[in-house]
Amino acid sequence: AQSVTQLDSQVPVFEEAPVELRCNYSSSVSVYLFWYVQYPNQGLQLLLKYLSGSTLVKGINGFEAEFNKSQTSFHLRKPSVHISDTAEYFCAVIPIKAAGNKLTFGGGTRVLVKP
């Protein structure tokens, strides 16, 4: 089984400041890793995913994440946030060789960007 822990439930940040959202996972098998964003009253939108290769992954809207296998982490960063980045962010994993490929999500981190 897999589990995902997002260490911060809420992160307040000022506009144009950097932000880092922490994600750690536990799995007995290799996994693919994902970050999704959920804006109010909307479904989830994929920000980025790590499948293999370079451990630094760039996504949409200026976000990037770094996979660290030894620390089983996949932290999300953005160097300068905008008001429009106010949303909830979810880290998720899928076992590489599982037939169903169902996502296991963390509890989410709510980002509030202040002017």
Partner 1 sequence: DTGVSQNPRHKITKRGQNVTFRCDPISEHNRLYWYRQTLGQGPEFLTYFQNEAQLEKSRLLSDRFSAERPKGSFSTLEIQRTEQGDSAMYLCASRGGTSTDTQYFGPGTRLTVL
Instruction: By CB under 8 A, name the binding residues for partner 1.
Output: 4, 6, 9, 32, 36, 41-46, 49, 51, 90, 92, 94, 96, 99-108
Strands 109-114 and 10-14: parallel
Q: Residue 19 or residue 37: which is nearer to partner 1 going by CB?
A: 37
The CA distance from 79 to 83, in Å, is: 14
Distance in Å, CB of 72 to partner 1, minimum:
17
Q: Is 23 left (phi over 0), alpha (psi -120 to 50) or beta?
A: beta
Q: Residue 15 or residue 88: which is nearer to partner 1 going by CB?
A: 88
Q: Residue 69 or residue 97: which is nearer to partner 1 going by CB?
A: 97
Distance in Å, CB of 80 to partner 1, minimum:
26
Distance in Å, CB of 106 to partner 1, minimum:
5
Q: Residue 12 or residue 79: which is nearer to partner 1 going by CB?
A: 12
Distance in Å, CB of 43 to partner 1, minimum:
4
